[in-house]
Amino acid sequence: MKRMFAMSILIAGGVVFLSFSSQAAIYLGQRVRATTPLEQIDHSDWNHLLQKYVNQDGMVNYRAWHASASDRQALSTYLSHLSTGSVNSKASTDAKLAFWINAYNAVTIAGILREYPTTSIRNHTPRVFGYNIWKDLQLYVDGQPRSLNHIEHEILRKLNEPRIHFAIVCASISCPRLLNEAYTADRIQQQLDDNARDFFSRRQNFQHSDGQFQLSAILDWFGSDFGPTQAQRLKSIAVWLPTERAQQLADSGGVQVSYLDYNWKLNEQR
């Protein structure tokens, strides 16, 4: 395994701090120059795995999936299929969204299965030193490795579709539910809307009383994707809120906003 080390220097108050980090890259898929248009990528194998191991609440039977060598291989085969996607081919925004959301979620699941048993993805995201699943687990697509961070921030967020934040998952309780079907270009608009409504229907993500909203920390971390001001962000999410009163309050912008604690425990079926 190739391991690279980097040192950064921080000067604060006249004191020099040294910070060391390492990268132990883990590569998924296959390193090939691709010619398959994203529109033609088949997500049916991923769909089958999701229906087998993920319930309606997005909870995953990691134990059974990990115990099945054939289904772990099926996931690996699907990831290799994603590697054949040609990122430079002409594709609709819907096809790009479906491809990259599925890729993000499949890589996340593969990363958890690689570490299983584990209690949280945060066990594998050190701040300073060691393997970081978000940075070092990388999927080859069209000959280039793409980390989870790269897929999220450099690809999906640049498609200007804020509903991605209710679709990509970090294998945690407070994440959006992992939809137990693959995203597809012909259905993704409805799928994204459905998952957005589901997200705000859960008390772990949204609570309200007159004059007060408690929102998922996701709306704090990625608020700018929903609008430049708090009022505009509230208007953006209004249509997905679970009650007419909540929608009215969001449209008015006249509420105080705070953010809920994020539960990083593994989204595992019990």
Annotated domain spans of the chain: 26-198, 206-259
Beta-sheet strands, E only, within 77-124: 85-86
Write down the pLDDT at residue 150: 98
Q: Which residue has the higher pLDDT, 11 or 242?
A: 242
- In this prediction, residues 48-76 reach a mean pLDDT of 98
Residue 177's closest CA among 159, 165, 188, 189? 165
Residue type at position 13 = G
The pair of structure tokens assigned to 138 is 């990388």
Distance CA(162)–CA(164), nearest Å, equals 5
Q: Is 265 helix (H, G, I), strand (E, B) or coil?
A: strand
CB-neighbour burial class of residue 127 (10 A; exposed 0-12, middle 13-18, buried 19+): exposed
Write down the pLDDT at residue 129: 86
Write down the pLDDT at residue 183: 98
Q: Is the pLDDT of residue 14 over 80?
A: no
Q: Is the pLDDT of residue 9 over 50?
A: no
Bridge partners of 259?
215
Q: Report whether 213 contacts 223 (CB < 8 A).
A: no
- Per-residue confidence at 18, pLDDT binned at 50, 70, 90? very low
Q: Is the pLDDT of residue 11 over 70?
A: no
Write down the pLDDT at residue 75: 98
Distance (Å) of CA 268 to CA 54, 57, 63, 172: 9, 10, 9, 8
- In this prediction, residues 191-219 reach a mean pLDDT of 96
Write down the pLDDT at residue 1: 33
Beta-sheet strands, E only, within the chain: 3-12, 15-24, 26-28, 36-37, 85-86, 137-141, 144-147, 206-209, 212-215, 256-259
Bridge partners of 22?
5
Q: Is the pLDDT of residue 156 over 80?
A: yes
- In this prediction, residues 200-217 reach a mean pLDDT of 96
The pair of structure tokens assigned to 91 is 């594709």
Write down the pLDDT at residue 24: 78
Write down the pLDDT at residue 35: 84
* SS (HEC) of 160-226: CCHHHHHCCCCCECCCCCCCCCCCCCCCHHHHHHHHHHHHHCCCCCEEEECCEEEECCHHHHCHHHH
Q: What is the pTM of this model?
A: 0.91
Name the average pLDDT for the chain. Answer: 92
The C-alpha torsion from 75 through 263 and 250 to 190, rounded to 10°, is 10
- In this prediction, residues 25-44 reach a mean pLDDT of 95
- The conformation of residue 122, written as its DSSP 8-state character, comes to G
Length of the chain counted residue by residue:
270
What percent of the chain has pLDDT above 70? 91
Write down the pLDDT at residue 210: 81
- Per-residue confidence at 23, pLDDT binned at 50, 70, 90? low
